[in-house]
Structure 1
Amino acid sequence: MRVKPVQKFNPQDAGADNKFYAQAVATGKIDLKRLAYLVSNQSSVREGDCYAVILSMVHNIMDELKQGKIVKLDRLGSFQLSVSSDGVATKEQVTGNIVKDIRINFRPDADMKGTLNTKTVKFTISDSLI
């Protein structure tokens, strides 16, 4: 994993000196087709079948989230929707109309947390500005 130094100020102390922090640098993207290809090469299932199953899973995850369910994918983690809204004076005024935004929260499973940590990921410094 690549990291780059980024200088930041302390918003709680405007007079404090800026400090440098490590920031993760993306090295690319992977899409569902590539994941399907990788899965198919690690199993006896054809690439097209893997792709179709992954697409179906994504569709069903979205449908279940819309119904307010927490979607738990063992060894990966859980997805859950959260909302932000305007404040109102009484509980009777709370309706779907005051919702301003929806976010998808992801909580990694213990297996993922245990596998991806500072002891298992090697870091290198990136000269890239990206």
Structure 2
Amino acid sequence: MQAVNTGTIDLDTLSKNISDECTIHSVDVKAVLMALGNKLDFYLSDGKIVDLGDVGKFKMAFSGVAETTPEALSVKRNIKKYHINYQPSVKMKRKLKAGITTYKEGSRS
């Protein structure tokens, strides 16, 4: 089995949906989300862990190749790929542990 996504929510849709639940206009929500993306980039590149409360934490990571001695390590030669690690918040972990309603592909029963 594998998880199958049911579509993609873009920035405009997300901004509109958030706006519908508060008093902030969707354009302002979109501006904040875009700024969040810029700040994530800035702080992650600076080596910070970004903690978004109930959303979870993000941190920069990489995969690389080992060497026999520390002196033989080189950023260009040994780091192969950068990625971002996501750690769900305690609230999100509890939700995942409790289980999520799942469906067989092609049905909703």
Equivalent in 36, 44, 48 of residue 23 of structure 2: 44
Give, in whole Å, the separation in 2 of the partners of 1:94 and 1:70.
Answer: 24
Equivalent in 54, 58, 82 of residue 102 of structure 1: 82
Task: Show the counterpart of 1:74.
Answer: 53
Where 2:59 maps in the other structure, the secondary structure is strand
Please say which of residues 79-88 and 29-38 is displaced more in the overlay. Answer: 79-88
- Tell me how many residue pairs correspond in the alignment: 106
Task: Show the counterpart of 1:59.
Answer: 38
Give, in whole Å, the separation in 1 of the partners of 2:72 and 2:52.
Answer: 36
CA positional deviation for 1:95: 2.9
Give, in whole Å, the separation in 1 of the partners of 2:90 and 2:23.
Answer: 28
Alignment of 1:26-45 (within 5 A): 26-45=5-24
CA positional deviation for 1:118: 4.6
In structure 2, stretches of 5+ residues that fail to align are none
Amino acid corresponding to residue 65 of structure 2 in structure 1 = D
CA positional deviation for 1:62: 1.1
CA positional deviation for 1:87: 2.1
Task: Show the counterpart of 1:91.
Answer: 70
Identity %: 30
In structure 1, stretches of 5+ residues that fail to align are 1-21
From the CA coordinates, give the structure whose radius of gyration is larger: 1
Alignment of 1:107-118 (within 5 A): 107-118=87-98
Where 1:84 maps in the other structure, the secondary structure is strand
Alignment of 1:3-42 (within 5 A): 22-42=1-21
Give, in whole Å, the separation in 2 of the partners of 1:91 and 1:57.
Answer: 37
The list of structure 1 runs, each at least 4 consecutive aligned residues, that deviate by more than 4 angstroms after superposition, is none
TM-score by length of 1: 0.74
More strand by share: 1
Give, in whole Å, the separation in 2 of the partners of 1:117 and 1:90.
Answer: 41
